[in-house]
Amino acid sequence: MNTRRNFIKNTVKVIGASAIIPTFSFNAIRSKKAKKEVILGHGNYQYKLNRDWAKISTVRNPILNCHEMVMDRKGRLIMIGDHTDNNIMIFDKSGKLLDYWGTAYPGGHGLTLSKEGEEDFLFLTDSGWFIDKTGKWIKHNGRVTKTTTDGRVIFDIGHPQTIGLYKEGESFCPTEVAVGPNGDIYVADGYGQDYIIQYSAKGEYIRHWGGHENSNKNYNLNNAHGVAIDYRDKSNPVVVCTSRNDNAFKFFTLDGKYIRTLILPNMYVCRPVFDDNNLYSGVCWSQPKGEKFDWKAHTGFVTVLEGDKVVSNPGGTPPIYKGKELQKSYQLEDKPIYHGHDICIDEDKNLYVCQWNANKTGPLKLERV
């Protein structure tokens, strides 16, 4: 990887946020038209965009939205989407489809890997939002399901109303799960009541926090879209929650005590994804300069942080700091990434980007250069 990175860095002049260099594929030679390589990102975090990574037939394996992806201990890339012909798709790193399953998650949204002994398990979240046959968005109540990697259901976590936590009529539309160091399950009700609900490894309720009406406003969550465990300080793991409409991540102790807030101006971030000392996130939307925010518009990209500092925005403008204050970032004008909904990182530091509302396309691969 280092030799390849140095070769490309020495032969490509990066201009602004992206660079374009010519390359020839077999099809391009046949058509006598040269395709162009697109390099996205900044500083030490630059990537070659591969739009055609996922080798799938949209007839046999249709996609509505790619939502999230994880990598299991076998190096397989497992993706969740919301098409009930194949909620789960399993790829190798070349993009070859190895397996697919799942027909019961019309709102398939969140996917979390749990390594337990010698076996991997998955936590699937159905957000409750799905597209019906007429193309209309329909809301129902969601659920969390623990499965094996081949789809055998272990148990479900259903509506909190069944244990008296929610009142009648309050929606439960979970978007994400994180698994703590002792196996505790943290559920983000990001499209429902914006709570983080903590359960034991057996699915028994422990506590919850977040929501909207706390006397201490630091506990308020505004679209608690993602949740993850930050193990960068191995002696002190913490829970990191997305407050997407606040363009922020909020940090809490494992028992829900507020620690701090990290603001990312103009970035409607999805779940935090940790790798080494870095935090990665898809940016589902940004507000273009001089325009109103539009959740249906293609305005997303990806962001990369070293510690708390943004160092690269693949698909977006370069991060700019004035003193210690990060300025607003924006999507590039040519929209190389429509929406960054989730990021998966492999051992070579390549990124796999799942996109919501991306014209029914598969995940993108960003190859580290």
Helices assigned H by DSSP within the chain = 2-11, 26-31
Burial class of 142 by CB neighbour count within 10 A (0 to 12, 13 to 18, 19+) = buried
**How far from 152 is each of 72, 272, 284, CA to CA, in Å?**
16, 27, 31
CB atoms within 10 A of CB 206: 13
- In whole angstroms, what is the distance from residue 69 CA to residue 252 CA? 24
- In whole angstroms, what is the distance from residue 241 CA to residue 270 CA? 9
CB atoms within 10 A of CB 253: 12
CB atoms within 10 A of CB 346: 15
Residue 355 CB-half CA count within 13 A: 26
Retrieve residue 232's tokens.
Answer: 């960068």
* pLDDT at residue 48 in the model: 98
Q: Are 102 and 83 in contact (CB under 8 A)?
A: no
Q: What is the SS3 assignment for 205?
A: strand
Q: What are the φ/ψ torsions at residue 161 (nearest 5 degrees)?
A: -60, -30
The full 3-state SS of 8-53, as one line of letters, equals HHHHCCCCCCEEEEEECCHHHHHHCCCEEEEEEEECCEEEEEECCC
Nearest CA among 237, 218, 137 for reference residue 179 = 237
* pLDDT at residue 58 in the model: 86
* pLDDT at residue 135 in the model: 85
CA angle 293, 298, 302 (to 5 degrees): 100
* pLDDT at residue 4 in the model: 44
Q: Are 237 and 228 in contact (CB under 8 A)?
A: no
- In whole angstroms, what is the distance from residue 154 CA to residue 70 CA? 19
- In whole angstroms, what is the distance from residue 339 CA to residue 352 CA? 13
Question: In order along the chain (369 residues), what is the average pLDDT of each group of 10 residues?
Answer: 45 38 38 71 98 95 97 98 97 98 97 97 97 89 97 96 95 98 98 98 98 98 98 97 98 98 98 98 97 96 98 98 97 98 98 97 98
* Backbone conformation region of residue 35, classed left if phi is above 0, alpha if psi is from -120 to 50, else beta: beta
Encode pLDDT of 130-176 as tens digits. 988 888 999 999 999 999 999 999 999 999 999 999 999 999 999 99
Q: Are 287 and 358 in contact (CB under 8 A)?
A: no
Looking at domain 39-368, what is its CATH homologous superfamily? TolB, C-terminal domain (2.120.10.30)
pTM for the whole structure: 0.90
